[in-house]
Structure 1
Amino acid sequence: MQCAKILATLSLKLRRFSPPPLLFPPHFQKPSSYLGRFSAMALLDHPKDEEYLNKVITKRVQLFQSIQSQQKAHFQSLPHDPIKVVLPDGSVKEGKKWESSPMDIAKGISKSLANNALISMVNGVLWDMNRPLEGDCDLKLFTFDTDEGRDTFWHSSAHILGQSLEMEYGCKLCIGPCTTRGEGFYYDAFYGDLGLNQDHFKSIESGAMKAVAEKQPFERIEVTKEQALEIFSDNNFKVEIINDLPVDKTITVYRCGPLVDLCRGPHIPNTSFVKAFACLKASSAYWRGNKDRESLQRVYGISYPDQKRLKEYIEMLREAEKYDHRELGKKQELFFNHALSPGSWFFLPHGTRIYNKLVEFIKKQYWERGYQEVISPNMYNMKLWETSGHAANYKENMFLIDIEKQEFGLKPMNCPGHCLMFDHKVRSYRELPLRLADFGVLHRNEASGALTGLTRVRRFQQDDAHIFCRESQVKDEVRGVLEFIDYAYTVFGFTYELKLSTRPEKYLGKLETWEKAESDLTEALNEFGKTWQINEGDGAFYGPKIDISVSDALKRKFQCATLQLDFQLPDRFKLEYSAEEENGMERPVMIHRAVLGSVERMLAILLEHYKGKWPFWLSPRQAIVCPVSEKSQPYALQVQDQIKQAGYYVDVDTTDRKIQKKVREAQLAQFNFILVVGEEEAKTGQVSVRVRDKADHSVMSIPSLLQHFKEKTEAYQ
């Protein structure tokens, strides 16, 4: 009744009809706070919002409560037998089936743990803290300081964001995950003609923090496909998702406050765990990434359990903005893009120097680590992609070409071509492991709205390699790849994390093959000696993988390297090698691996990581000779020639500016070494050496300088 009175009063003021009451759960003390999110101006500007609020949300909440009541009654009717809950340290806690929850177990351990545990894992499956346990189990609890805790925290924050967006603008929500980079979350929604920008952020954040203040619990129900379609019948985007779900898929729906959302979960216990919330940016997106589908708007957000961490993150973003690779690339004349070739970048001479250095760095390691370089075609008949499975699962991301009434596709990856290379002749076990490396140009048809500098492009190159080996060789090959990655990332100054992603719910191949592969990966990781974590059920359908995320100088995480086992492609292409005489023909295991990942993306990451100050070995501007006067120019040119002949990038400033100005300009241009020469240096055959960002200088002979350059290059400094 209180809701109806508030709505009636608001409607009288606006000379509109009085809507029916909105249902809210009994734990909310001030249900009217939801209605307050629809400002009078919003109702005046968007008359459909009122109808949306009263009919759609009311219907969803009613259906949710009805199904929830039935399910609770069912669980209460089940026998609540005693169960044993085993914790990671081996200790055992007692509980009751269909009654005790991970939160109850946490409370039994300590109040602090219960206040900080965000999510649990029950027998390897992520589980809501308040969801009843269904039997004896192993239990792990995760706080915000774990990947599982952070991802869940940000996924739940996306629901809080979605609630604010829906209540504020009456939009149709689409999807709202945590970001793949592991920094925050976003929500895509359809707004019609409304365009969101930073001016809207204050009201969105206000709505989100109201949800936080209300301590809305995240509640879960399981529904049939028919029930899900009824709940979301007003939202064509959710209906499409539901209709595309497999017949045997368990469908879950979550609720927090007025938001009822289709979601597999799990979520944090309630909204009050989110103490700090901010909108970061708004951008356009296409439904399901398809440029021919509906145009959506994406709002990105970030949240934390305390204000201090949010302030630190915002400060990090401000710092990162100063060193955006697109701005630095323009300033240093490294690369540019053009509207006539979106997503494909032009590398200028200085940018090409860096690009080539990265490629040369990897190629040198190939030589030392037993890889064989190959070159494969850029374009294949679609029959190849049908065999590999990409035609069915990846075709919309490919550039297609009709040639003589046949369909061809530009390659988005090298692996199918490498399968053809393996298969072009009879192979023997003596040839394995066969490590094929390919810097071929790849093309992926990314949506124009998703293109982002060098980090999301359409044309790129990878340090792509595929290792064909016997099952008995998997462990050693994986360890070798890990050592390769460690070597490269140490040179770049990255720290990194390792995760073993194991067999997913839906997988291809034999169970024993998966178990053997996971065992080999585990042994390889243990022998490698670095700390690693397990990521249950997150492997690819065709094989387990090791995920490697790097952290740069600004503590941002990136996924660059790849290490995946693949049983599927060798089977699809019927690859075989002759084993020892008594064993006949056997199927190889295929290992996909990359260290840099996309060369373009790695170049962008390094540019920001070094803040534009390239180390000498990678720098496109290693040295510049600055003559003090016109009299010194002939010697300056001679010095330049000697350094250039030794294989280093060196310029000479022959302008008539004063030497102080030349030195300052060279420092701003990020030359690593500034070599000042005057009449004295010309007489003695020396140079006055200034190092970037240092005020002092020293005098060196040319041979000594070149030796110094050589040492820095060999040490990757």
Structure 2
Amino acid sequence: MSIQITFPDGNQKTFEAPPTGLQIAQGISPGLAKKAAVVKVNGELWDLTRPIDRDAKFEIVTRDKPEALEVIRHDAAHVLAQAVQELFPGTQVTFGPATDTGFYYDFARSEPFTEADLQQIEERMREIVKRDLPIRREVWPHDEAVKFFDKAGEKFKAEWIRDGIKADEELTIYRQGDTWLDMCLGPHLASTGKLGTAFKLTKVGGAYWRGDANNAQLQRIYGVAFATEQELKDYLHMVEEAEKRDHRRLARQLDLFHQQEEAPGMVFWHPKGWAIWQAVERYVRGVYKRSGYQEVRGPQIMDVSLWKKSGHWDNYQNNMFFTESEKRTYAVKPMNCPGHVQIYNANLHSYRDLPIRYAEFGGCHRNEPSGALHGIMRVRAFTQDDGHIFCMPEQVESEVTAFHRQAMEVYSDFGFGDIDIKIALRPDKRIGDDATWDRAEDALRAALRSAGVEWTELAGEGAFYGPKIEYHLRDSIGRAWQVGTMQVDFMMPERLGASYIDEHSSRQIPVMLHRAIVGSMERFIGILLEHHAGAMPLWLAPVQVVVAPIVSDADAYAREAAAALDAAGLRVEADLRNEKITLKIREHSLQKVPVIVVVGRREAEEKTVTLRRLGSERQESLPLAEAVARLAAEAAPQR
């Protein structure tokens, strides 16, 4: 039986017997074989040691490739399961997949795992890696697998096979060494030694068998895993930094906002937090004005009949809040778009009027699951810097391109320079036909192509009414946050009766572009807090300047300096407490105040001030008028 293998460069090689991926790699280069993690056979990932029993397109996947990382993490889950069962006999395993940063495994055990257990398990995992146990793929008949797991006391595995796999189907088993195995689709590395030691167990959590709260409760052990020790080290450092920067922790420290059980997923803004909000809002309002948007305001609740017409009732109902009055049912708006269509429809429009751009700081409510809520990053009540553009089809590309340019400027002004752009394509649950979706998706691609940018595509992640461009910002510790969007919508204007009169006096349906740059104001402020570790740039800081006298003799001058700064538009406080200047500087530094103005007898006599910048020991003495002018210029809203 000869097997023909086709390599990525088009070259072919014939083998007289089915070769393994490892044998092919060794034939090319021993060094390549050492780096190989798995192989692709006709686009499907296979184990290195699995014989290739058919003609195939063949590719070697080395350890540094993304596909290999998922295999490494899956291997770590299996090594975890083996370690647990060696240390705690009688523990049953269920399932253990790879995740975005590592892996987990769910276990059935009567005793709870402790932090000390995690350390012991991790040590045993490293022992298993050191043993370099061969990992072998086996194919078992259905009934044989059920009997084996029943006899081994693995009732969860046996139940899954009985209920989830047809009796005439075979299933794959992966064996590590001679004593441990598990049912798995694979693929896996060639041996436990290939896993390496770039992993760490992180925590224990709870889970339910098959994700059903009516079923048995399980214990879930989480871990992280990477291809190299340096990647693991970098990730753990990022996690440590993220904990320090957690916006909820910073909110308590800096007295910005709070949340409480009586209003789950909603925010109580304190004066300092609201000052940040207002600074962001003023900036965005300036963007609106410069970009030709007219600011509008729509109702907070509207009759459900409108939401049925728009498509939200059929496609978004589970995420909406409802209320009743006088036997009518109303929906609290989760989005601003249907309201903006009503504003557009209130007047007749000619093609000469288009594009029409509406903007609104629109308050929205969405019925998010309580388990998904996370500080101000994921809430139920939020405000969007929302906008909608009504235009002709031939105007879509120029409008999207202009928005892209505008969005990139905004992100730069807020301190973000590393931005990934993605297009989210049609979801399974959607309105409109495929031809309309083709037009919408192609319009976004054409606009980004015109803007000269590269993007990636996310299958199935668009909104139910249209595809969208997503802007993912990378923060100062490397995390990505999705904020702004631009969506092309050919459906909602027609459903809600929007139209314009073209140059031939015919009625046409406009294209509706849904756009937001910062997205949820709450979430964006949370991202800003974590990005800047609470030390907001001067123009965004809730308290921009504190004037602190060294001695009480300078109190009157401190008030004078504070008044001058206040008159120049700065958010300023005067600290006239009878405390040492070192204590004042330390406390205001902990509050992340960007500038402390220190004054004493000499400064009062000379009408000067001494500036101390947050994070710097350097001091600068200036005449009061010059200091006021300089700080006012620095604190002015961007652009």
Whether the 8 Å contact between 2:427 and 2:460 is mirrored in structure 1 is: yes
Deviations 1:80-115 (A, max 9, x none): 996866x4xxx4233789x89998987787666666
Return closer, same or farther for 1:329/1:518 CA change in 2, 3 Å cut-off: same
Are residue 92 (structure 1) and residue 10 (structure 2) matched? yes
Alignment of 1:109-188 (within 5 A): 176=97, 178-179=99-100, 183-184=101-102
Query: What letter corresponds to residue 500 of structure 2 in structure 1?
Result: Y
Q: What TM-score does the superposition give when structure 1 sets the normalisation length?
A: 0.71
User: Which letter maps to 2:224?
Assistant: I
Counterpart residue type for residue 521 of structure 1 = L
Q: How does 1:247-396 map to 2 (within 5 A)?
A: 256-257=174-175, 258-260=181-183, 274-275=195-196, 276-283=198-205, 299-396=221-318
* SS in structure 1 of the partner of residue 477 of structure 2: coil
Q: Alignment partner for residue 704 of structure 1, among 617, 626, 631? A: 626
Where does residue 452 of structure 1 map in the other structure?
374
- Does residue 545 (structure 1) correspond to residue 468 (structure 2)? The answer is yes
1:706 maps to amino acid = V
2:358 maps to 1:436: yes
Contact in 2 for aligned 1:570/1:587 (Cα 8 Å): yes
**Maintained 8 Å contact 1:273/1:305:** no
Other-structure match for 1:561 = 484
Identity of aligned residues (%): 34
Q: Give the equivalent residue in structure 1 for 2:178.
A: none
CA distance in 1, matches of 2:25, 2:347: 60
What does the per-residue CA deviation read over 1:635-686, in whole Å, with 9 as the maximum and x for residues that have no partner? 2112211211221111101111123332333323222111122233233332
Which 10-residue stretch deviates more, 106-115 or 408-417?
106-115
For 1:418-458, what per-residue CA distance to the aligned partner results, in whole angstroms no more than 9, with x for missing partners? Answer: 34444444444334333332322222333333332222222
Q: Please name the residue that 1:201 is paired with.
A: 118
One-letter amino acid of the counterpart of residue 621, structure 1: V
Aligned to 1:52: none
Matched, 1:497 2:414: no
Bigger shift: residues 651-660 or 664-673: 664-673
2:569 corresponds to 1:642: no
| Alpha-carbon displacement from aligned partner over 1:609-646 (angstroms, at most 9, x marks no partner) | 21222111111121111122222212211221121122
1:593 alignment partner AA: R
**Correspondence for 1:412 among 326, 334, 341:** 334
Please give the alpha-carbon distance, in whole angstroms, between the structure 2 residues aligned to 1:390 and 1:286. 32
Judge conservation of contact 1:119–1:129 (CA < 8 Å) in 2.
Answer: yes
CA distance in structure 1 between the partners assigned to 2:111 and 2:514 by the alignment: 44
Q: How big is the shift at 1:323?
A: 2.5
Letter of the 1:398 counterpart:
M
- Tell me the SS of whatever aligns to 1:440: strand
1:598 aligns with 2:598: no
Residues 108-149 of structure 1: CA deviation (Å, up to 9, x unaligned): 8766666656688999x8766779799998x98776766666
Change (3 A) 1:496 1:687: same
| Aligned residue number for residue 608 of structure 2 | 686
Letter in 2 for 1:549: H
Partner of 1:464: 386
Deviations 1:268-310 (A, max 9, x none): 8887664322232344578999999998766543211122321
Compared CA separation, residues 410 and 486, structure 1 to 2 (3 A): same
Structure 1 counterpart of 2:11, one-letter code: K
8 Å CA contact 1:154–1:303 kept in 2: the answer is yes
Shift of the 585–565 alpha-carbon distance from structure 1 to 2, 3 Å rule, reads: closer
The one-character-per-residue Cα deviations of 1:464-509 (angstroms, maximum 9, x if unpaired) are 3333333323322222232223212222332122234455688764
**Matched-pair contact (CA < 8 Å) for 1:119–1:126:** no
Of stretches 430-439 and 536-545 in structure 1, the one that deviates more from structure 2 is: 536-545
Alignment of 1:11-90 (within 5 A): 87=8
- Given the superposition, is the C-alpha separation of residues 268 and 593 from structure 1 closer, same or farther in structure 2, using an over 3 Å criterion? farther
Task: Answer with 578-587 or 662-671: which moved more.
Answer: 578-587
Q: Is the 8 A contact 1:286 1:294 kept in 2?
A: yes
CA distance in 2, matches of 1:466, 1:517: 16
Give deviations 1:552-594, integer Å, cap 9, x for gaps: 1111222222233344434544544333427642352x33333
Q: Give, in whole Å, the separation in 1 of the partners of 2:295 and 2:308.
A: 26
Output the amino acid matched with 1:578: I
Aligned residues: 614
1:630 aligns with 2:547: no
Change (3 A) 1:195 1:459: farther
CA root-mean-square deviation = 4.7
Quote the residue 1:10 is aligned against.
none
Tell me the amino acid that sits aligned with residue 350 of structure 1: K
Deviates more, 1:447-456 or 1:669-678: 447-456
Counterparts of 1:486 and 1:153, CA distance in 2: 36
Please tell me whether the aligned partners of residues 107 and 220 of structure 2 are also in contact (alpha carbons under 8 angstroms): no
| Letter of the structure 2 residue corresponding to residue 451 of structure 1 | L
CA distance in 1, matches of 2:571, 2:98: 46
Query: Contact 1:617–1:713 at 8 Å: present in 2 too?
Result: yes
Q: Contact 1:196 / 1:282 at 8 angstroms: preserved in 2?
A: yes
Counterparts of 2:114 and 2:490, CA distance in 1: 46
Which sits farther off after the overlay, 488-497 or 204-213? 204-213
Match of 1:522? 445
Partner AA of 1:463 in structure 2: D
**2: distance between equivalents of 1:421 and 1:471?**
20
CA change 1:384–1:203 in 2 (3 A) is farther
Q: Distance in 2 between matches of 1:158 and 1:542?
A: 39
- Hey, what does 1:32 align to over in structure 2? none
Counterpart in the other structure of 1:577? 500
Distance 1:109 1:473 in 2: 54
- The verdict on how the C-alpha distance between 1:545 and 1:105 changes in structure 2, with shifts beyond 3 A counting, is farther
> For residues 624 and 155 of structure 1, what CA distance do their matches in structure 2 show?
53
Greater displacement, 455-464 / 275-284: 275-284
Give 1:330 deviation, angstroms.
0.9
Output the CA distance in 2 between the equivalents of 1:576 and 1:285.
52
Q: Distance in 1 between matches of 2:69 and 2:171?
A: 21
Does the CA-based 8 Å contact 1:128-1:269 persist in structure 2?
A: no
Give the TM-score of the pair, scaled to structure 2: 0.78
How many Å separate the matches in 2 of 1:364 and 1:667? 31
User: Is the 8 Å Cα contact of residues 274 and 306 (structure 1) preserved in structure 2?
Assistant: no
Cα gap change, 1:706/1:323 in structure 2, threshold over 3 Å: closer, same or farther? same
Contact 1:500–1:534 (8 Å) recurs in 2: yes
Q: Does 2:607 correspond to 1:695?
A: no
Contact 1:119 1:266 in 2 (8 A): yes
